[in-house]
Structure 1
Amino acid sequence: MKYLKSSLFICLLVTVLTSAQNKEITLDAIWNGTFRTEGMQSLHSMNNGKQYAVLNFEQGSTAIDVYDYKTLSKVETLVKSSDLEAIKYFSDYTFSKDESKIILATEVEPIFRRSTLGVFYVYDIKTKALAKISDEKIQEPTLSPDGKKVAYGFNNNLYIKDFESNQTTQITFDGEKNKIINGITDWVYEEEFAFVRAFEWNADGSYLAFIRFDETEVPEFSMDVYGQGLYPEQDVFKYPKAGEANALVSLHIYDLKSKKINDVKLSKPYSDFYIPRIEWTNDANVLSAQYTNRHQNELDLWMISANNMSSKLVLAEKDKAYIDVTDNLTFLKDNSFIWTSETDGYNHIYHYSKDGKLINQVTKGPWEVTNYYGFDEKNNTVFYQSVENGSINRDVYSIRIDGNNKKRLTQNEGTNSADFSADFTYFINTFSSSTKAPEYTLHTAKDGKLVKVIKENSSLEKNLEAYNLPKKEFSTIAVNGNDLNMWMIKPNDFDASKTYPLFMFQYSGPGSQSVKNTWHAANDYWYYFLAQKGYIVACVDGRGTGFKGADFKKVTQNELGKYEVEDQIQAAKQLGALNYIDQNRMGIWGWSYGGFMSSNALFKGNDVFKMAIAVAPVTSWRYYDTIYTERYMTTPQENPSGYDDNSPIFHVDKLKGNFLLIHGSADDNVHVQNTMQMVEALIQANKQFEWMIYPDKNHGIYGGNTRLHLYTKMTNYIKENL
């Protein structure tokens, strides 16, 4: 009996342990934060190079805490909301350049993807005084270098508040909704050039440069917002679709001493152009401005004198396709500058004199620089991130500005990104991979040596052990003459003698990357969930995606949706030929550009894919904005076949499989018009399909239970049709 009891106990223990190691992922767990990672919020390196600040949340209050790089111990708390009578909670902060004052953000509400409105306060670190910038909700408050003034946008005009006199000066007066914007970008600049604040203080706070947008001739887009009222409201905003009128932009410099606005006039005539970046040099009288033509295949860098408004063209780049705008322009003490470019076929770092003469190409090779971190003047060293160790990985490097003595500073294979101390003594490295949750570690910048571990996600990793997640397998697949990056997730009980349905994901947009060695995004958990249900999930980055050189990326120029779709169809055919994949049960899905692609793949590959899901898809590039679309397609007037030949709307007659179409009715980015036009085309082609509209949801389709509902619907559709 004793042995029988022992055997029963052992069997029970094994059963319990096995069960604990095979916990199934649920959709609720994915979207309720169960798998959320911890990070370092609003990390800021202090000017002294010895300390850093972060935003900490504790017991309903927020605090800006300062830590010592060397010991990682907390040195002081600069400010916490529980000590401030006027503020219960602040969600973000920014220092003045001299770190004497801090802007605290409260009551922040989104406008579009990057723009917000909020109530902002300025906290004086020395006196501990708190001053409200404005009683109104304002945009982009920015302190002058000495912290004595703050500039901000309100109702399409610019204002400057002087803290010493407590006076606010309005410096522009013609701002008007859907007509004139001063110092804040319009919708298309915000979305496609990725910035909102279109004004900049100079080095000593004597000038404020800003861009003015005249949207008068830009066509308006309107969408109903249903809300909870008896009647819906209309949101009307300026949105330039491909081939339509853009805002007329102009550059201006406000002189705080004379209180006059001077207009920047260049010696080169521009008729239809963009100003995607402005940045003051270290010389308080010299402003740099980047101008690009409408096709975005010519990019000019100008130097403008605020004293006499003279201008000089110092750098002019041209490309047969397009030139990406970046934030990598950095001025050194002598006003020579760092610039990144794809001139030699790969994105690399260049050093130019202040007059635009090439001093040196700093990095070289058949790989891409993916981020520029800064220049250590003392040691003549440039710090950057690149894919030299494989296009799906990221590492941090240092190199002398003359191109010698390159060092790889990170050793773990996966995704490494750095935040350097102000004096480049240390850097905080954020590392993750497909098998390692994000960890934050301190390293010496000189050699990358590990100093200390700051933060890990070990508790999450331990919790995940119970789920026994399948492995994400990275490989390449030879498709249409190219080795394409791929990942695949198989069920844990995978048996090569059996067959499995295949579900493919892709995004595929120009310069994008979906196959990368980094920690799980929320969708990855959904893919693991599907694998637990018996599906094989795969992702292939086809031609047009990024980090494999300019030629690979720009091959899709003027024909978006041609080569990318061919690659997805051919990849599916080759995967379907594997013994363990059921070629009669293959599906594909995508969101936004990925929805454009999955629609085309189902229609054009009707003998390959059984089903597809398209979320918030572009269905014709004629409906999308000027800056993004024309960068890759020129205008519809110039390239009508490029727009129409690969629009899924014109291929609905080929539909044989099952198609689910999903969109948010308040999508200000990819308008629901895209889905409505697709629906009408499908109806007229007498093709059956399913669709779902999420009321008042934008391009992200989230809020409350929305994401859970969306992924439940897609999961059920996959189960029923694949």
Structure 2
Amino acid sequence: MIAWVRAAIFAVACVLSCSLSAQPATQDARIADALSLRDRMQYLTDGVADPAVWSPAGDAFHYRRTVIGGFRFVSVRLADRERRDMFDHARLAAAIGAVTGGEYRADRLPFDSFAFEGDDRTLRITVADRRLRCSLASYVCATVAPPPGRPRAFGVTRDMRVPADATPRRSPDGRHEATVEGDNLVVREVASGRQVIRTSDGSPGLFYDPETIAWSPDSRRLALYRVRPGHQRMIYRVASSPPDRLEPKLITQLYPKPGDVVDLERPVLFTLDGARQVDVDPALFDNPYQLSPLAWRSDSASLGFTYNQRGHGVYRLVEVDAVSGTPREVVAERSDTFVYAPRMDHRDVDGTGREIVWMSERSGWNHLYLVDGRTGRTRPITQGDWVVRRIVHVDAERRQVYFAANGREKGDPYLQHFYRIGLDGRGLVRLTEAEAFHDVSFAPDMAHYVDTYSRIDLPPVSELRRTSDGALVATLEQADISQLTAAGWQTPETFIAKGRDGVTDIWGVIVRPRDFDPAKRYPVIENIYGAGFDNFVPKKWWPFGYHAGGDEVVGMQAQADLGYIVVQIDGMGTLNRSKAFHDVTWKNVGEGGAPDRILWHKAAAARYRQYDASRVGLYGGSLGGQNALGGLLFFPDFYKAAVAYNGCHDNRMDKISWNEQWMGWPVDESYSRSSNVDNAWRLKGDLLLIVGELDMNVDPAVSMQVADRLIKAGKDFELLVVPGGDHGVGRTEAPFDEVLGRQYDFFARTLGAPQPTR
């Protein structure tokens, strides 16, 4: 126990001041080099383009591209296809600095995207969580107040401390407006102010929500949700070292957790003629996790919404007759495990609901189906052992649907391509040619598209193409990385091995030190993030951007340069493969695909004698932090050391959203089986826990609960608490060097250095 206390106090006390002087001078220099690698390499490319954004008129598009030393925003007009600066970068940098107090370089503006406001001469940007409006006519920026409205914590529980936006919603014909006063709906004539409807059944415990008002296109009816508010669970954080005062501050956040009562919404219909009210029978949506916003059909005959059942086992499209208020199921997705609601998508073919393009995994792969909106009969549009990622556009006139998918073409099954197919399932056309990951931006009229594509070993290319036949109109950008290569950049190696079933390919990447010596055996460090909401092994070339929950490729390179082989692997349970592949996550978040990843490690060690699978460590943040510690708890015979940044650690303590998605509802024993808190007693190996005291994403108390259980179990470990640190501390937010340096130092002490091959 004495060893733990010493380590913990040392780590906490040194978060902002200790150097790494315990390491040899050469190691100090190597760590300093690793910490500066991103800054030294990030600005050595030219012509690396982000995906394009079209103007509302469709006559031009813009994108951000790299230049040596930074970035620039360029605009291209279809008429001449010439590239121009989007704005005066120096003047905009000065304008932003004038309102924020910061200093910005013209080639490193503090935002990577923007939106037009009203016209193409006014931009909306966000700088360090501050919303700004910037005029390109005067080059003056001003702070924009956040939009009014009542926030919903993780989309399911309204924050009742904040008033709802009761701004009157005007009918399409402009004759009436609707709002909520004293929890009741009120509808008035605009011209006279005469009250047409006023309900009397609203109350604080069952109120009409003005933010959900939806007028029918013919202005004869409206609908909105009446809401029974859910549990107002507040969690508390103490800012120990606030910059503006001596005393600590208490921070309170609405934070629903798994099992909590969420808002219960019920749609109510109103007809202006006769002030008729119809409460919709809730039998088809009686246990909601979430209902979508109410959406009227174009003919005003009905309205629809989706129902995501609590527990995520049913996802249903409900249609409500506008006259009778009778609801019916149009189509539904059901699963014995889970329906991944964030991917579910559907589109009305003509806006009337007579035909619907519906996304479903009923075949075992995510595909598109055409649904008869009256009978519910479905027939496949796409089929095969591959995955539709999203619906892009439905062309009702030509009866075609555009979509993005992966896995249909030979090679890497994660590479995204774009396609067009008839609603009858015939005439499939592949719009993207290169074997690469494609980001395609279509013009509003669908006549042209910009295709930006790359692989981790293929620098980006950006092309303007014609949609009708896919013909190349112009090559916009072709990245030049010669200076980056001259500075020592090397491409990660893609490596594939069989998973636990002996059949499924598991894909990952290997990053070696830039001074790799084939006569040595290197310890291995795995950058882990095993969540089910995406795949995480990089597929695009850009190596400097952060992936969700994990480090970017250049971060893996920096760690590798200290004397390791660094890898990242998509084990089973991650997204963009088959339904069976994805289902491994269900009630099993604690595993993180480890059986597949361990087999992958062993296959790499069998291929390369320099790969020392007897010394494997892990690092990760958020769910990756949970996975990193889980490696030592549940697979201690393989993993030897772990650094866990702001880990979720116990899914009952984390946010309701993705935890109930994967772990289910009601809360059951599976939560305990995956819990790093309940299983802390199993710890073997070396552990460094890192937590920001003001993590607003994952409740930081859960890291302290892990520490508590480890202490009680007599386990030795290290703890780094960062005052003022948020969820991305050391990874996506400062302090970087002080925190990341502790990771480098930790692995040097626990995994050791390369050894001669035997």
TM-score (norm 2): 0.74
Aligned to 1:485: 507
1:183–1:660 distance in 2 versus 1, CA, 3 Å:
farther
- 1:329 alignment partner AA: H
1:582–1:669 distance in 2 versus 1, CA, 3 Å:
same
Q: Which of 299, 309, 321 is 2:337 aligned to?
A: 321
**How far did residue 348 of structure 1 move?**
0.6
- 1:675 alignment partner AA: S
Asked if the contact 1:158–1:182 (Cα under 8 Å) also holds between the matched residues in 2, the reply is no
2: distance between equivalents of 1:547 and 1:105? 33
1:609 aligns with 2:629: no
Q: Which moved more, 1:680-689 or 1:488-497?
A: 488-497
1:530–1:427 distance in 2 versus 1, CA, 3 Å:
same
Q: Which of 468, 474, 492 is 2:494 aligned to?
A: 474
CA deviation map 1:283-309 (0-9, x unaligned): 355432001221111111112355664
**How far did residue 244 of structure 1 move?**
2.2
Aligned to 2:231: 217
Aligned to 1:366: 385
**How far did residue 363 of structure 1 move?**
0.7
Structure 2 residue matching 1:27: 3-state secondary structure: helix
Q: How does 1:287-686 map to 2 (within 5 A)?
A: 287-305=303-321, 309-325=325-341, 326=343, 328-333=345-350, 335=352, 336-355=355-374, 357-358=376-377, 360-387=379-406, 388-389=408-409, 390-458=412-480, 461-481=481-501, 482-519=504-541, 520=543, 521-522=545-546, 523-562=552-591, 564-576=593-605, 578-635=608-665, 637=667, 639-640=668-669, 642-686=670-714
Structure 2 residue matching 1:537: 3-state secondary structure: strand
**How far did residue 448 of structure 1 move?**
2.2
**How far did residue 108 of structure 1 move?**
7.4
Structure 2 residue matching 1:424: 3-state secondary structure: coil
Asked if the contact 1:157–1:171 (Cα under 8 Å) also holds between the matched residues in 2, the reply is no
Q: Which of 54, 60, 71 is 2:80 aligned to?
A: 71
Asked if the contact 1:158–1:171 (Cα under 8 Å) also holds between the matched residues in 2, the reply is yes
**How far did residue 670 of structure 1 move?**
1.4
Asked if the contact 2:512–2:564 (Cα under 8 Å) also holds between the matched residues in 1, the reply is yes
State how many pairs are aligned: 649
1:682–1:101 distance in 2 versus 1, CA, 3 Å:
same
Structure 1 residue matching 2:427: 3-state secondary structure: coil
CA deviation map 1:448-485 (0-9, x unaligned): 22211234543xx2331123323211132123224311
**How far did residue 273 of structure 1 move?**
0.9
Aligned to 2:53: 43
1:378–1:265 distance in 2 versus 1, CA, 3 Å:
closer
Q: How does 1:57-136 map to 2 (within 5 A)?
A: 67-69=76-78, 71-73=80-82, 92-93=114-115, 105=124, 110=129
2: distance between equivalents of 1:140 and 1:203? 24
2: distance between equivalents of 1:259 and 1:79? 58
1: distance between equivalents of 2:221 and 2:39? 47
Aligned to 1:19: none
2: distance between equivalents of 1:649 and 1:435? 40
Aligned to 1:710: 739
CA deviation map 1:676-705 (0-9, x unaligned): 110101111221211222233332237763
1:35–1:622 distance in 2 versus 1, CA, 3 Å:
farther
Asked if the contact 2:521–2:611 (Cα under 8 Å) also holds between the matched residues in 1, the reply is yes
**How far did residue 409 of structure 1 move?**
1.5
Asked if the contact 1:179–1:216 (Cα under 8 Å) also holds between the matched residues in 2, the reply is no
Asked if the contact 1:46–1:52 (Cα under 8 Å) also holds between the matched residues in 2, the reply is no
Aligned to 1:138: 147
Structure 2 residue matching 1:622: 3-state secondary structure: coil
- 2:360 alignment partner AA: S
**How far did residue 399 of structure 1 move?**
1.4
1: distance between equivalents of 2:91 and 2:324? 49
Q: In percent, how many aligned pairs have the same letter?
A: 21
1:323–1:133 distance in 2 versus 1, CA, 3 Å:
farther
2: distance between equivalents of 1:164 and 1:280? 15
2: distance between equivalents of 1:259 and 1:440? 58
- 1:357 alignment partner AA: G
Asked if the contact 1:614–1:660 (Cα under 8 Å) also holds between the matched residues in 2, the reply is yes
Aligned to 2:165: 157
Asked if the contact 1:292–1:299 (Cα under 8 Å) also holds between the matched residues in 2, the reply is yes
1: distance between equivalents of 2:493 and 2:610? 16
Structure 1 residue matching 2:639: 3-state secondary structure: coil
1:240–1:385 distance in 2 versus 1, CA, 3 Å:
same
**How far did residue 514 of structure 1 move?**
1.7
2: distance between equivalents of 1:133 and 1:199? 31
Structure 1 residue matching 2:679: 3-state secondary structure: helix
2: distance between equivalents of 1:182 and 1:720? 60
1:80–1:183 distance in 2 versus 1, CA, 3 Å:
farther
Structure 2 residue matching 1:464: 3-state secondary structure: helix
5+ residue gaps, structure 1, are: 1-23, 111-116, 142-152, 185-196
**How far did residue 374 of structure 1 move?**
0.7
2: distance between equivalents of 1:437 and 1:182? 53
CA deviation map 1:277-336 (0-9, x unaligned): 234433355432001221111111112355664433211221111112236322222632
1:456–1:267 distance in 2 versus 1, CA, 3 Å:
same
- 1:419 alignment partner AA: S
Q: Which of 252, 273, 277 is 2:292 aligned to?
A: 277
Q: Which of 256, 268, 281 is 1:266 aligned to?
A: 281
Asked if the contact 1:119–1:138 (Cα under 8 Å) also holds between the matched residues in 2, the reply is no
Q: Which moved more, 1:511-520 or 1:700-709?
A: 700-709
User: Over aligned residue pairs, what C-alpha RMSD do you find?
Assistant: 4.6
- 1:312 alignment partner AA: R
**How far did residue 708 of structure 1 move?**
3.8
1: distance between equivalents of 2:374 and 2:62? 37
